[in-house]
Chain A
Amino acid sequence: MLIRHAADLTDNDVTDHGLYMKRRTLMAGLAGVGLAGAAAGEARAGLAFTKGFSTTEKLTPKEDITTYNNFYEFGVDKGDPAEKSDRFKPRPWTVRIDGACEAPRTVGIEDLIKGNKLEERIYRMRCVEGWSMVIPWVGFPLKDLIASVKPTSKAKFVAFETVMRPSEMPGQGWNTLDWPYREGLRIDEAMHPLTLMAVGLYGDVLPNQNGAPLRLVAPWKYGFKGAKSIVRISLVENQPVTAWNKLAPREYGFYSNVNPAVDHPRWSQATERRIGEFRRRETLPFNGYGEYVADLYKGMDLKRFY
């Protein structure tokens, strides 16, 4: 029996799994900062994670996920984020979590990575422009982070504020959007188990062009809802202002759930091109996650709350 074995052993003999995982993550974190660079010539250590929610769909190649990005802070061309994000320094990094909660806190990215159980989640990503990818993120559920600050009953929405660093982000020199980029979720959306805070991609530390060091992923919403390079997460009582909604409220709603029945005023949302495929495919309601999230919107007119 296991108990007997355990009696034979002292505490020193066994490494607690959690601790083991934490060590692994710490190493990965250090690799991210470049401190593990002493191991010269070796490939950067990946993050330690378990396999979580997935799909049988074919993954989009890493090359495409890291070179075809909308991240206007680095420029409006899809290639700009990969080409113009070298100067961006995603570490050291802290995130402030505050607002309607009992235990607001400021936490470093390495502590976030160490303090949360990382999982790989393979999600579809549908861009509002009509293309999609299948992306293996590494991260932890946002609900764990929110629970850690003990939200009060006034926490009805979550507001995400992202980084403002014009010296490192050439696209912020132009007022294409009202910087810094802001996003938001309703609290039940934020607490949904599918909602992920991503810190990695393809098993590695998140690249700059994909929103390093910490980004939001809500796979049933259009990609732009996934705020990148987050510096502040606030629990708030009223629906927060979001960047695209502010620019063009008729085109980009607060909810922005993937919905083939509600077209963008200027183009159809009925179909999408999966990157790497030739023919367009049908877009699914809630990006195919309806069985998990449709209940959140019961009784709501999704044509009105687009």
Chain B
Amino acid sequence: MANPPRKRPSKLRGNLIYALVWLACFAPLVWVAWKGFNGDLGANPIEKLIRELGVWGLRLLLVGLAITPAARILKAPRLVRFRRTIGLFAFSYIVLHLSSYIGVDLFFDWNQLWKDILKRPFITLGMLGFTLLIPLAVTSTNGWVIRMGRAAWSRLHRLIYVIVPLGVVHYYLLVKADHRPPLIYGAVFVLLMVWRAWDAWSKRAAR
């Protein structure tokens, strides 16, 4: 055996944790699909489906943003390796959210979609956020990090600091009266950004 035997359990544990993260990311989709399959999404299942997919996309984006602060605060740098998985899951939920809006709600009425994008600020902002997410999803592989160089890659991926608030505002603008849920997501985002600002400031101060 080439590998020292004591390393094996730790690798197994790593894989287990990885599997758990995957399962956790998949769970909302399975749950929504299961409810849809059983006709359990209420009287307006199409709207419910689109909302659930969108909200889970936003939640996962925020979880992704929370990884770096969590890794630092908990002194668990290895957490960072889950960031890509979570980000790609968030992107997948948003792709499903958008495709169910276009394919199921509008039934591929491209003309209506175009009008919505131009006339409905919440859809304009949502589409903008989605468009900005595409380069991040495309360049998420190790190959792209190398090709672009670490610094340029990091700069590009800072787009997420614009995309997440776009998602929050997109949500806020479609709510009729109870703005608490989008405001809570907004507050979480602000908190995560405040930590980043504080972190950057203290690093500079330490220099």
A interface residue numbers (CB < 8 A to B): 63-64, 67-68, 72, 76, 78-79, 129, 131, 174, 176-177, 247, 263, 266-268, 271, 273, 275-276, 278-280
Contact between chains at A263 and B43 (CB < 8 Å): no
B interface residue numbers (CB < 8 A to A): 42-44, 46-47, 105-107, 112, 115-116, 119-122, 173-174, 176-178, 180
Contact between chains at B115 and A68 (CB < 8 Å): no
Contact between chains at A266 and B173 (CB < 8 Å): yes
B interface SS class: helix
CA distance A63 to B39 in the complex (A): 13
The one of B44, B120, B178, B180 in contact with A268, judged by C-beta atoms closer than 8 angstroms, is B120
Contact between chains at B107 and A267 (CB < 8 Å): no
Contact between chains at A273 and B46 (CB < 8 Å): yes
Starting from the known contacts A63-B43, A174-B178, A267-B120, 19 additional A-B residue pairs (CB-CB under 8 Å) come to: A67-B42, A67-B43, A68-B43, A68-B44, A72-B178, A76-B177, A79-B42, A129-B176, A131-B44, A177-B177, A247-B177, A266-B121, A266-B174, A268-B112, A268-B119, A268-B120, A273-B44, A280-B106, A280-B107
Q: What residues of A have a CB within 8 angstroms of the CB of B174 in the complex?
A: 266-267
Contacts known (A129-B176, A176-B178, A280-B107); A275 close to B43, Cβ less than 8 A: yes
A interface SS class: loop
The one of B44, B119, B178, B180 in contact with A263, judged by C-beta atoms closer than 8 angstroms, is B119
- B91 to nearest A CB, angstroms? 25
Q: What residues of B have a CB within 8 angstroms of the CB of A280 in the complex?
A: 105-107
Contact between chains at A268 and B43 (CB < 8 Å): no
- B152 to nearest A CB, angstroms? 38
Q: What residues of B have a CB within 8 angstroms of the CB of A275 in the complex?
A: 43-44
The one of A68, A72, A176, A271 in contact with B42, judged by C-beta atoms closer than 8 angstroms, is A68
Q: What residues of B have a CB within 8 angstroms of the CB of A263 in the complex?
A: 119
Q: What residues of B have a CB within 8 angstroms of the CB of A68 in the complex?
A: 42-44
Contacts known (A263-B119, A266-B121, A266-B122); A131 close to B42, Cβ less than 8 A: no
